[in-house]
Amino acid sequence: METLGVSAALVDGDLLPGDVRLDGDRVAEVGLPPAPGGRIAAPGLVDLQVNGFAGVDLMAADVEEMRELARVLPRHGVTAFLPTLITAAAADTDRALDRLSTAFATYDGPPDPLAAHCLGVHLEGPYLSSRRLGTHPPEHRRDPDPAELAAWRLRGDVVAVTLAPELPGALDLVKSLAADGVLVSLGHSDATAHEAVLGFEAGARTVTHLFNAMSPLHHREPGLPGAALARPDIVIQLVLDGHHLAPEVVRIAWAAARGRVVLVTDATAAAGRPDGRYELAGVDLDVTDGAVRNVDGTLAGSALTLPAAIANAVALGIDVVDALRAVTSAPAALIGRDDIGVLRPGSRADVVVLADDLTLEQTYVAGEAVL
């Protein structure tokens, strides 16, 4: 058994005073006499938007590079993640899906016990608005194609899809995907508020990187952001890297949607690496002062880590418990998983330990220390 030496722990979504004890790959006890120092234990972090990390771009990576990315993520607190593929040529998406399936579903040997758990695949595109592409290559954008998407779902475990609801055939596709249990997120969209509501009523349950690459919020036409913030059943996803959103916008969004916020990184190969030159699905990226941009100066994902996102949220006045829920239980619930993002007696011992200043001190994957 190992006692973590913390003074409090996020247990079932609430901060419980006391220490935590692990027994093998399970959480054995919580609420033990607290250790001094103000350290906090929380469930392993869950990131639902990872395009790449530590020099690896998932669209171009080979199988071993994908596995290496999964091994690196726990060093940054992430114990479960959703690989994300952006808009690309169909053949490139085919190849990436095949490699992801090989990397995480059909190991030649047992899965790496110290790697982050792959939750499936998130397809962010190609069914996006030509007016709100961000850094997605315009030559590969297209209107919804149910047959194409069905073929991709046969190739890989596609559990989430981002699309623009205003496109021809989009609402029927949302209904079909939602009926099959796929998480549909609205994003890269020029939808009016009405068109967004139609998407939500068809079965979309969340919004990809709120405010970025979508119709703006106006006081007479609230667009996709206003429609999402106004609905208590819609989860909003935010990128808190100090570049995607102004502090005031973060506070407004959190106040409007408290309890239904998920923090994601939208990480690229630049995450966990110094400033420099990188790639995202063939798009050249420049990282300066932590901001990831393409050659046109458009934001193109991030170099963010989830521990940094937690600290950024708290620095903006967000309650630490709310911030921790947004990277643990909230993303787990959104993806329909009750076996991750939780810390309680009997749960798998995927745990992070944060210092009193919220910096990451240790990650445990199935009870094994990674840092």
- Report d(CA 213, CA 136) in Å as an integer: 10
Whole-angstrom distance, CA of residue 169 vs CA of residue 334: 25
Task: Give the residue from 204, 326, 336, 207 showing the smallest Cα distance to 262.
Answer: 326
Point out the catalytic residue in the list 241, 266, 322, 356: 266
Q: Under a CB-based contact definition with an 8 Å cutoff, are residues 270 and 305 in contact?
A: no
- What is the Cα–Cα distance from 89 to 139, expressed in whole angstroms? 8
Tokens of 270: 């630049």
CB 158 within 8 A of CB 98: no
Q: Catalytic site residue 266?
A: yes
Q: Are β-strands 121-124 and 78-86 bridged in parallel, bridged antiparallel, or unpaired? A: parallel
Question: Which positions ≥6 away from 43 have C-beta within 8 Å?
Answer: 10, 79, 328, 329, 340, 341, 342, 343, 347, 350, 351, 352
Identity of the residue numbered 47: D
d(CA 139, CA 280): 15
Cβ–Cβ under 8 Å, residues 103 and 66: yes
Residues identified as active-site: 266
